[in-house]
Amino acid sequence: MSQASEFHNIDNPNDGLFRELGEGLTTRIFSGEQAMLSIVTIAPNSQGTRHQHLEEQWGVLLEGSAIRFQGDEEIPVKKGDFWRTPGGVPHTMRAGPAGARVLDIFSPPRPEYRKPGKGFAGG
């Protein structure tokens, strides 16, 4: 297999598996054997649905600003901040007035994110 298929560009909107997470939230997903990357775009002042999953998740705020809701805490985040969400911890994010772009890393890969669809889990 050519290694060229293993290279991607974070700014290419046609690269990756597209998934609509909710109103104002989309992601492009890149899955490997042991880890998965998700590049999430959040429209200004939009918020995801509070959810949880078994997989460990790391996030990096690439652009914009946001509030991270994790467990019972609300934590403001700015470009360059990164965080870990253990499996089973409820969480979501609300973008600031300029929106936000987040790189999420899951281990192991989330099964429901291996196919296009809608929502944070399932179909």
Q: pLDDT tens for residues 90-123?
A: 999 999 999 999 999 999 999 988 888 888 864 3
> Of residues 112 and 45, which shows the higher confidence score?
45
Q: Which CATH superfamily is domain 3-114 in?
A: Jelly Rolls (2.60.120.10)
Provide the pLDDT confidence category of residue 42 given band limits of 50, 70 and 90: very high
- Residues contacting residue 116 through CB under 8 Å, at least 6 positions apart: 17, 18, 19
Q: Is-contact 29 37, C-beta < 8 A?
A: yes
pLDDT at 79: 97
Of 1-5, 40-44, 66-70, the one with minimum mean pLDDT is 1-5
Average pLDDT over the chain, rounded to whole? Answer: 94
Angle at 25 between CA 47 and CA 95, to 5 degrees: 40
pTM for the full model?
A: 0.92
For the chain, give every domain's residue range: 3-114
Determine the Cα–Cα distance for residues 79 and 100; give it in Å rounded to an integer: 9
pLDDT at residue 44 greater than cutoff 60: yes
Q: One-letter amino acid identity for 19?
A: R
Average pLDDT over residues 31-39: 96
